[in-house]
Amino acid sequence: MQTDSYRYNLKEALKNLIRVNESIYASIIDVSMQGELKEFNDTVPIGEIHQFDFVLFKNSDDTNIQLLVKLMEAVDETFESIKNINSIKIDEE
């Protein structure tokens, strides 16, 4: 049986994994904008906002982007495992 503090810390760990993946994703975009997407980046006006599909990065030829994508996928897999093993809902507080 899990104590309340144990469960609380699991939820905090899950929140941290979300933040980790958000940070990695931001890095993927930054690296791509100076690599494979540099030409696109150079033509976009400052302040213009674009949405990127994760599939774009999964299909990247850049080895560094591929490593970061795999890391994100591993973090996501760990997140889902912890969540499922412990029957935690993401919005559970």
pLDDT digits (tens, 9 = 90+) for 30-78: 999 888 888 887 788 788 787 888 899 999 999 999 999 999 999 999 9
92 or 26, greater pLDDT: 26
Contact of 68 with 31, CB cutoff 8 Å: yes
pLDDT band at 93 (very low <50, low <70, confident <90, very high): very low
Average pLDDT, integer, range 75-92: 89
Contacts (Cβ under 8 Å, ≥6 apart) of 37: none
Of 49 and 27, more confident:
27
